[in-house]
Chains A and B, each alone.
Chain A
Amino acid sequence: MRRRAELKNYHHELQHFKLRLIVLGGIVLLGFGILIIRFYFLQITAYDHYHTLAENNRISVIPVAPTRGIITDRNGKTIAHNFFVYALEITPVKVEDLDKTIAQLSKLVEISSNDINRFKKLKASNHEFKSLPIRTQLNEVEAAKFAANRFRFPGVEIKSRLYRHYPNGKLGVHIAGYIGRINDNDISKLKKEGALSNYKGSDHIGKSGIEQFYEKKLHGKAGFKQVEINADGRAVRVLSSTAPVSGDNLTLSVDLKLQEIAERAFGERRGALVAIKPKTGEILALVSMPTFDPNLFVGGIDTANWRRLNESADKPMINRPLRGVYPPGSTFKPFVALAGLEAGKRMLPFHIKDPGYFILPNSTHHYRDWKVGGHGFVDIKRAITISCDTFFYGLAIELGIEKLSTFVRHFGFGKKTGIDIAGENSGLLPTPEWKMRRYKKPWYKGETVIIGIGQGYTLTTPLQLAYATAVLANRGTAMKPHLVTAITDVKTGETTPIKPVVTDQIALNESNLETVKTAMVDVTLPGGTASSVGRNAGYSIAAKTGTAQVIGIKQNEKYDEKNIAARHRDHALFIAYAPTDNPQIAIAAIVENGGHGGSAAGPIARQLMDYYLLGKLPPEPIEKKAPKVTEEATVEASTHD
């Protein structure tokens, strides 16, 4: 009985156990059911979502910067090119103690305080996760030294980067200009143009000169690499890639040798020079003195160098030929003369007897000639040759400001020439309307008088002056000045020449042109104001000297008395073209505070013409040869020569 009870109990318990086992089996099914529902949700319902997330996770698009176009001069000499350099770069966000890291790095490779300053400046204006150079142009030994110690420096890397290099250094800086690191201004500008994506891989952008003006051509088109990245963000393999398209190569009209001769002729003197080929408008030389080394800007300029350049009283960074404005002085006279002749006034053999001054009717004010006592009998040719002020005072007043301005405007005065560099100043060719607008005052006749000799409100850039000279040399056909003569597509090798552009065609009477030309030739012959320039030239030069009172470039108060006095001296101007029967070169030169045009600026122009026309190199050293202030200059005690 008891045994049976136990047995029964046992069976009962076994049933009980099996029931519970079934319950647990149900739980297992339920559990797996839940998991399958979850799988369904993740892998079927939300598949698209997760698929996209996974693709985004693994695929990263890396921009590949294109190679910037190369700039060469008219003879194929390199002005700007690229080369690979090792740069030591730090990603600030990856480095714990920046100062300590730099200190340790400097034990391996030389890091100057300039490098550190430049790096800090870059760091302040860039994102924390951007890799920035602390030292550029490492040599092989330095690169190897760092590579061996690399493990000690997380966040520091050696990168081989394509760097822009200007092999000629200071020579012709203002032509090619320079590139610099892309800053916030550049970014917002690129954004506006819709070109930002093309710059994703680029660090640099043209900041001035050709580099800036032809940025779109030079930069090229960025390529892209689709890479698979792992969780650390490292590229594992390339899925697809679109190669970048290199920027176009540019050929400039500039002759580097001519440029060099000009810059050496200037020596320590400040000033500007523009040489143009009259028939095409090609710029042969574009000099702005002093210059600076554009390579300083490529890696990001350091504070010390920036201050030195920016705060210098010599203003080396100003592109003087385009932005420096000077009164044309007597170099304006040939154009005034032509205006008179074209208006039928002062035709030969008309002449005046110069008493050494000019008086407006009903006035007592004496407009003095630079020569006390006057030049005696003067016709229009002699007025140019000896630069007679009295003659032109009278001519200007007879033409009137409106007529005079309208005529000379055709020669490019008072408006931009349209050269292919940005930042050109339009100069100033005053009219009564302009004066009313600007000063709310009426025009006075006396103001017309002094405009006859290129003074007063009249302002011109050296480029304008050269352009006007070229137009004169080209007998009234105005060619747009330009620097780029050909654009070469690197990929196809196709070169597209830039055709010369006629900007104006001035109808001029041949005999009037001839009159002015012979007068200008006489300037360089014995008895002329630049007779020394024409001496033993072997070809005929048409020229005009000029002197301008200092206004243009601002004075810097830091300089001492003596220096300020030097900076208050007149600017020397000189325009010329040669050979006169078939003009190949037209030049305008300005030597700031140089004194007299014929003696200070003239010889520089002569050296250029000698080289360009005859292939003759100036004797060395050039500085000694360039005459200082001479007798002739002492004559200009009065305002003009």
Chain B
Amino acid sequence: MINRIVYRLGQHIDSILMSSILFTLLIGLFILYSASGESVGRVSAQLMNIVIAMSILWLVANVQPQFMERMALPLYLLGIMLLIGVALFGNISHGARRWLDLGIVKLQPSELMRIAVPMMLAWFFSQREASLRVTDFIIAFIILLLPVFFILKQPDLGTSLLVFVSGLFVIFLAGLSWRIIIGGAVAAGALMPIFWSMLHDYQRRRIRILIDPTQDPLGAGYHIIQSTIAQGSGGLTGKGWLNGTQSQLDFVPERTTDFIFSVFSEEFGMVGNVLLLLLFSLIIARGLYITSQAQSTFSRLLAGSITLTFFIYIFVNIGMVSGILPVVGVPLPLISYGGTSMVAILLGFGILMSIHTHKKLVASG
């Protein structure tokens, strides 16, 4: 009887993916305890976030991929409407208009779009499966760029970038011709100097500081300088858990959220960093395997996008914290403190598990 319940509960859970996720989350809790100045409250709150996000993961994993396919278009349209709503009536906080107050709950529609956009595009391409033409790709880009534009206007550079990339992966995996990809890249490269010349001086300065933070060591560059000092001073094996001076003494900003990796890196050193990347690689490899085994175009495209977006999150966050990418507000998945991000990430893994565990035993054809 109990075995049956356990089986029912675990029926749609991928054990490899789940165990590596749980291990990463555990590391995340430990490092959050250190980063928050040994705050049990912070850790409990994050544990609560994990419980909620895990429940959502479980629910989604138990949903048929076909149902998601049917939900793709309505979800996307709802997202667009909410984004317009935010643009017109949203609450302003920290100079950005991101939240929509619906009285009972505050919604951040841009977070919804992180999953709704790749779903929509996967659905779109699965409809055109048989005969893909150039016009289809143009339509796909419009589907993608519309929400990206709204999110960029809020302004939320980080999220818009991630939504854009997640869509781009779908388009790439759907089979966008190499010629267009290469052509597009070359054209973008060629247009850069022209774009640069059109900018105002102050805008150029901002971009320069974005690229080289040392130009403004007390302003925008401060975070990144302190963060690289934290990492560099960690050395090969780190200063030890709870002993990161840069982090413990407030030099590292936003150290429970976007900059949590600095804390990890300072306390566990390069060895810790590489091990963490290996753990992430395991998750990504499993995701790619699930993608390759997916049975429908929709699931394939969606699974691929979710997996690679997960990678992009990691790369952009660590790249930013390590000072090789400009500072954009992207949390480190599974590690950074925050409920919204946790739900978005685990929801994605729920979809992956759903895709993997709802495969028909019937052979293709």
Q: Which of A14-57 contact B (CB under 8 A)?
A: 16-18, 20-21, 24-25, 27-28, 31-32, 34-36, 38-40, 42-44, 46-47, 49-51, 53-55, 57
Asked whether A32 lies within 8 Å of B324 as measured between CB atoms, the reply is: no
Asked whether A47 lies within 8 Å of B246 as measured between CB atoms, the reply is: no
Binds B, one of A127-135, A224-232, A315-323, A460-468: A224-232
Asked whether A35 lies within 8 Å of B277 as measured between CB atoms, the reply is: yes
If A47-B233, A54-B233, A230-B251 are given as contacts, then 17 extra A-B residue pairs at C-beta distance below 8 Å, sorted by A number, are A21-B288, A24-B169, A35-B319, A36-B273, A38-B323, A39-B231, A39-B265, A39-B322, A42-B231, A43-B234, A47-B232, A49-B232, A51-B232, A54-B245, A57-B226, A57-B229, A231-B251
Q: Does B228 contact A (CB under 8 A)?
A: yes
| Residue of A34, A35, A40 ringed by the most chain B CB atoms within 10 A | A35
Smallest CB gap from A236: residue in B: B249
Asked whether B300 lies within 8 Å of A17 as measured between CB atoms, the reply is: yes
Bound Cα distance from A32 to B314, whole angstroms: 9
B155-174 interface mask toward A, CB cutoff 8 Å, 1 = contact, 0 = none?
00000000000000100110
Asked whether B292 lies within 8 Å of A21 as measured between CB atoms, the reply is: yes
Which chain A positions have C-beta within 8 A of B323?
38, 42
A505-530 interface mask toward B, CB cutoff 8 Å, 1 = contact, 0 = none?
00000000000000000000000000
Q: Which of B220-271 contact A (CB under 8 A)?
A: 226, 228-236, 245-246, 249-251, 265, 269-270
Count, chain A residues at interface, CB 8 A: 39
Q: Does B365 contact A (CB under 8 A)?
A: yes
A1-19 interface mask toward B, CB cutoff 8 Å, 1 = contact, 0 = none?
0000001001001001110
30 pairs, CB–CB < 8 Å, chain A vs chain B: A10-B364, A13-B175, A16-B175, A17-B300, A20-B173, A21-B173, A21-B288, A24-B308, A25-B285, A35-B319, A36-B273, A36-B277, A39-B231, A39-B273, A42-B232, A43-B232, A43-B265, A43-B269, A43-B273, A47-B232, A50-B232, A53-B229, A55-B233, A57-B226, A57-B249, A58-B245, A58-B246, A230-B250, A230-B251, A231-B249
Asked whether B235 lies within 8 Å of A47 as measured between CB atoms, the reply is: yes
Asked whether B245 lies within 8 Å of A228 as measured between CB atoms, the reply is: yes
Asked whether A21 lies within 8 Å of B281 as measured between CB atoms, the reply is: no
Which chain A positions have C-beta within 8 A of B150?
none
When A and B form their complex, which 3 residue pairs have the shortest distance between CB atoms, in order from nearest? Answer: A50-B232, A54-B233, A231-B250
Bound Cα distance from A42 to B231, whole angstroms: 7
Which chain A positions have C-beta within 8 A of B364?
10
Which chain A positions have C-beta within 8 A of B281?
28, 32
Whole-angstrom distance from the CB of B300 to the nearest CB of chain A? 6
Whole-angstrom distance from the CB of A366 to the nearest CB of chain B? 86
Which chain B positions have C-beta within 8 A of A38?
319, 322-324
Asked whether A50 lies within 8 Å of B315 as measured between CB atoms, the reply is: no
Asked whether B173 lies within 8 Å of A58 as measured between CB atoms, the reply is: no
Asked whether B246 lies within 8 Å of A57 as measured between CB atoms, the reply is: yes
Bound Cα distance from A54 to B308, whole angstroms: 35
Given A36-B277, A49-B232, A58 and B172 touching (CB < 8 A)?
no
Whole-angstrom distance from the CB of A476 to the nearest CB of chain B? 72
Asked whether A17 lies within 8 Å of B173 as measured between CB atoms, the reply is: yes
Q: Does B311 contact A (CB under 8 A)?
A: yes
Which chain A positions have C-beta within 8 A of B26?
none
Q: Which of B323-358 contact A (CB under 8 A)?
A: 323-324
Smallest CB gap from A36: residue in B: B274
Q: Does B291 contact A (CB under 8 A)?
A: yes
Asked whether B236 lies within 8 Å of A18 as measured between CB atoms, the reply is: no
Q: Does B147 contact A (CB under 8 A)?
A: no
| Residue of B173, B233, B270, B324 ringed by the most chain A CB atoms within 10 A | B233
Smallest CB gap from B253: residue in A: A231
Bound Cα distance from A27 to B291, whole angstroms: 16
Which chain B positions have C-beta within 8 A of A53?
229, 232-233
Bound Cα distance from A31 to B325, whole angstroms: 12
Bound Cα distance from A31 to B316, whole angstroms: 10
